[in-house]
Amino acid sequence: MMANLDDRSMRERMLAGDLYVADDPELAERLLRAADLMDAFNATSARDPREQRRLLTELLGAVGEGTVIRPPLRVDYGSHLRIGARSFANFGLVALDVAPITIGDDVQIGTNVQLLTPTHPVDPELRRAKWEAAQPITIGDNVWLGSGAIVLPGVTIGENTVVGAGAVVTRDLPANVVAAGNPARVIRTIEPGTA
């Protein structure tokens, strides 16, 4: 069984969120380019923040002013990851940006957080034939993702929301809540001015 084919390239299919085969020369070259830049960023000394910033700017789709990402960083393409101003990602961010990942301003990301856009078909024949797809992730302004949190494909997290350490976010979370657990559930609303 094969996915419906049309005249689009695999990259065009991927960016549209449709099934595509990742074993494609154009995609392979883009993955290698990202791997080269990612390796260079991860190997750059913390004493050379200008070079780290230069490499991030070349690797990622956008990096806001004052944003810091501590290596190691792992991405698929990099160019589909956009992060706003004054955000901070601690050690070990994995952002598999097959589909767009958009991170707002003033976001705090703990260690070993995973943002995972890829999906795979349930149909075993499509999976065996190496078809896959992806869904975007959006993280609003001033969100805090605790260490080890995992955000799954297609999820949007509203502004000011806190996701507890180790939570697995399988569905959208509204603004101004605290969510925790596996799967992540809203455990309380955040009232302005409260700790």
Catalytic residues: 120
Contact yes or no for 98/118 (Cβ under 8 A): yes
d(CA 168, CA 161): 14
SS3 for 114?
Answer: strand
SS3 for 156?
Answer: strand
d(CA 118, CA 77): 12
Contact yes or no for 87/109 (Cβ under 8 A): yes
d(CA 41, CA 55): 6
